[in-house]
Structure 1
Amino acid sequence: MTPAVATDEKESRRPTSPVLPRGPGIGWFAVSGLVNALGTGFFYPFSLLFFTELSGLSLGSVGLVLTITVLAVLPWLLAVGRLVDRIGPRPVLIAGAAVRAVGFAGFLAVRDAATLVMCCLFLALGNRLEQTATPLLAIRLAPDGHSGQWLALTRVVFNAGLGGGALFASLLVVDSTSGFIVLGVANAASFVLTALLYLGLPVTEPTGKAPSRSREKRTAAPWRHTAYVRVAGANALLLTAALAVESALPVFALRELEMPSWIAGVLFAVNTLLLTLFQLPLGRLLERFRPSAVLALGGLAYAALYAAVLLAGGMSRGAQIASMVTGMVVYTLGELAVSQAGMTLLTGLPPQREQGAYLAFNQFFAGGATALAPFLVAMLLAHAPTSLWWTLGGGSVLAALLVSLLPHPSGAQQAN
């Protein structure tokens, strides 16, 4: 199947297809993704409290364990990618959900650092399996010309599930040991259900027989594909920025700007609502433009929020709120563009039979961003809070420069 970005001029002149994705298995695909995201969202707001309460470790120790385990799974990713190419993404998604279910069940027995590390390794590995296999399954299940819409759907159900899960957790989870045990059981059950739902997805054939060892060494080298490395690097910079905003904005708004505590909830509600409502229609619209340009402009749009935060210090309360909400709206539109164009490039640039290996290689960058963001936020907020926003702005500009001069992909590109 030809990826969405591998279209020629004739393809671009075809009549516009409906915004909503179509194709066999679309219902199962959406529901399984939603349940998967609900489990993640249910857990995410309470993750640090969950780990500290059940393990008895300090917050700093838990943070160190989480960073180490995220980094520890990265060396396995190329093997994961080759596995996806050989057996297809559906079995890997099922395995990823099962691994996370085992991890959450194991958390209930955590009493020391060693057990916590083991369970966190299961969770980190399951997350990487899911993030590698999901976009590949989307483009293989999508009918010709619809892969961009299926990729957008993965973001819609993820954001809707994440927000819904967080809301349910805030209403149902009690800050106590028994409450966190319920949280662990619920998450284990959600990933068991996710694995069962994945069984209902259509089976996709692997892209071809495994290449010979000599051929594999010569072709499966994503790090030699200059354009792909630049896109993955730009995505990692923008992911670092997004994760930093998520954790730093509430702290900065409350401590540095002395804004009311509800402002963080309002800003992230605006973000979640826009991501859920506009991912599909905006994604369809953006398919008309060069994806590298869309990615670059989307990254630059992040700066609207950074500027709003930096300027808010000298404003009245009403002007502060208006400025921050406006900045968040522009930032979210940029986030929509980045997620759509980034995934279009990451799935469209690799040779088709090596897409799994390339997507797994991209997880090196994503994992690095996931590990770096909390450290960056903690260090800069503690010592130079304002400089955090200048640093994120510089990273967004660098990301835009990395991809702004990329050629438009006209099919699977070969490694340089």
Structure 2
Amino acid sequence: MTATTAPPHTRPPLLTRVLHDDRMVRRLAGITLVNTLGNGLSMTLAVLFFTRVLGFGAAQVGLALTAAGLCGVLAGVPAGRLADRYGAKPVLLTLVAVQGVGTAAYATVHSFPVFLLLACLVTTVDRGSSAVRNAMYAEILPSDRRVEGRAYLRSVTNIGIGVGTCLAGLALQADTRTAYSVAILADAVTFLVVVVLFAVVLPAPARRSDLAAAGRREPNPALRNVPYLAVTALNGLLCLQFAMIEVGVPLWIVRETSAPRWMVSGGLLVNTVLVVLLQVRATRGTDRPDVAIRVCRRGGLLLTGSCAVLGLAHGLPAAAAALVLAAGIGLQALGEVLSQAGGWALSYDLAAEGHHGAYQGVFNTGQSAAMMLGPAVVAWLLVGHGLLGWTLLGALFAASGLAMGPTVRWAQRAGRSSVDV
């Protein structure tokens, strides 16, 4: 067939494979790419900006970031509740706008108390917006496409952060006050661009006024749903894997193996590439709770296997240690995409319709707690206890994955009972 006779709306094969077939997910992907490009800039440069440009000591920055992390853990529940009351879109627009303004305000900070308050504010709206964003997906995506859509957006997230990190390298190479300041302000601009895109591109989801009114009167249903809280806790334990790959593995490579030091960045690169390639595929069938349970169980067991393999790198020659570490990192990536896919599916499936903000707020709080506490827990296990630490961490992943099945069935029985009543 010649180009002149081809169907007018046919995309090239490469674009067909890369671009999502759902128009709404494609719009969300574009917004996500802008947002995470800025995130990649700030993740790479923030600490250097705080210490070298703003002039705060490492201990002061550590204290501020720890306090901010705690505020972030506490933000998910009230933010999700607001999404149920007023709609996810307007709440999300407000939170992202505040985050953009707060990020830009870093450039004007001269005193530590102001820096501390600003860090707490920015982290609070960041974690709150994450919960609201996940609730928004439940409002604007069909129920059978939510998890697959989130997986696609997570792949885009990794790409955006990777590009942002590469751009941050330009500021690192320049190593000047101006370069760091421009990068932070560029991150702030991406938030404001995202606000405009959300406002213009996304429709305001239709909401039932009776559910919104009930949400203003009733206590938070997610906080009273004990089985859902248990599922959230198990998912939080599985989320310790992020601290494992970002903190535990680098410490292990440098302190306890003879592998080349470039394996630290190489391992993170392998993880990123595998997540981009496999995350969408890992969601297949997870719209069925029984499949989501199996996926979580397999993810937990793969993470356990990853811990066992990574621990074996201790004492090996450099080349052998590098191969063993690569295998362990590969297993971790497989466990990550599966456990995340299963967790997302269950977080939506077990939520009461009309209250996705409340439920996503609680679920996001579990993840935020794991991300705040994870680095300290993982570092203590691996630096203080070595192979025993890997064994304990692996056992924790296995127990969490295996316990997901009976806990989800408990949640399903509780949900049916509440409907019958």
Q: Is 1:19–1:149's contact at 8 Å kept on the other side of the alignment?
A: no
Residue 135 of structure 1: aligned partner: 134
Change (3 A) 1:287 1:409: farther
Whether the 8 Å CA contact 2:222–2:229 is kept in 1: the answer is yes
| Pairwise CA distance, 1:166 | 1.4
Report deviation, 1:336.
0.5
78-87 or 272-281: which moved more?
78-87
Letter in 1 for 2:409: P
Give the Cα separation in 2 of the matches to 1:86 and 1:56: 42
Identify the range of structure 1 (387-396 vs 28-37) with the bigger mean alpha-carbon deviation: 387-396
Matched residue, 2:326? 325
After superposition, give the CA deviation of every residue in 1:110-169 in whole Å (9 maximum; x if it has no partner).
222211112212221221222112222223222353223212122111122122211221
Segments of 5+ residues of structure 2 without an aligned counterpart are 1-16
TM-score by length of 2: 0.86
Alignment of 1:27-46 (within 5 A): 27-46=26-45
- The 1:411/1:336 distance shift into structure 2, 3 A limit, reads farther
Paired residue for 2:218?
216
Per the TM alignment, residue 214 of structure 1 is displaced from its structure 2 partner at its CA by 8.9
Aligned to 1:197: 197
Bigger drift between 383-392 and 129-138 goes to 383-392
Q: State the one-letter code of the partner of 2:295.
A: V
Matched, 1:95 2:97: no
SS for the counterpart of 1:307 is helix
The CA distance in 2 between the partners of 1:244 and 1:142, in whole Å, is 32
CA RMSD of aligned residues (A): 2.7
In 1, Cα distance between equivalents of 2:169 and 2:229: 39
Deviations 1:217-241 (A, max 9, x none): 2xx2323323311221112112223
CA distance in 2, matches of 1:351, 1:41: 34
- C-alpha separation between the residues in 2 aligned to 1:127 and 1:198? 16
Are the counterparts in 2 of residues 21 and 146 from structure 1 also a CA contact under 8 Å?
Answer: no
CA contact (8 A) 2:85 2:213 kept: no
- Please identify which structure carries the higher helix content: 2
The runs of at least 4 consecutive aligned structure 1 residues that moved more than 6 Å come to: 408-412
TM-aligned CA deviation for residue 366 of structure 1: 2.2
1:329 deviates by 1.3
* Distance in 1 between residues matched to 2:144 and 2:413, nearest whole Å: 13
Query: Residue type matched to 1:96 in 2?
Result: L
Instruction: Name the aligned partner's letter for residue 360 of structure 1.
Output: G
Shift of residue 415 of structure 1? 8.2
Superposition deviation, residue 391 in structure 1: 3.8
| Residues 1:395 and 2:387 are matched in the alignment | no
Closer, same or farther in 2 for the Cα pair 1:136/1:72, shift >3 Å? closer
- Structure 2 residue aligned with 1:275: 275
Instruction: Return the letter of the residue paired with 1:334.
Output: G
Question: Could you tell me how far apart the structure 1 residues matched to 2:19 and 2:231 are?
Answer: 27
Identity %: 27
Residue pair 1:350, 1:412 contacting (<8 A) in 2 also: no
Partner residue in 2 for 1:308 = 309
Relative to structure 1, the CA distance from residue 215 to residue 109 in structure 2 (aligned partners, 3 Å threshold; closer, same or farther) is closer
**Cα distance change, pair 273–255 in 1 and its aligned pair in 2 (3 A):** same
- Give me the TM-score of the superposition, normalised by structure 1: 0.87
1:77-131 CA deviation, whole Å, 9 max, x = no partner? 4332221012222222222221221121111122222111122122212212221
Count matched residues.
Answer: 397
Q: Tell me the SS of whatever aligns to 1:284.
A: coil
* Pair 1:160-2:192 in alignment: no
Higher relative contact order (CA 8 A, sep 6+): 1
Counterparts of 1:257-268 in structure 2, within 5 Å, are: 257-268=257-268
For the Cα contact (< 8 Å) 2:46–2:184, is it kept in 1?
A: no
Give the AA of the match of 1:183.
Answer: A
Partner of 1:255: 255
Give the match for residue 413 of structure 1. 415
**1:377 CA drift (Å):** 4.2
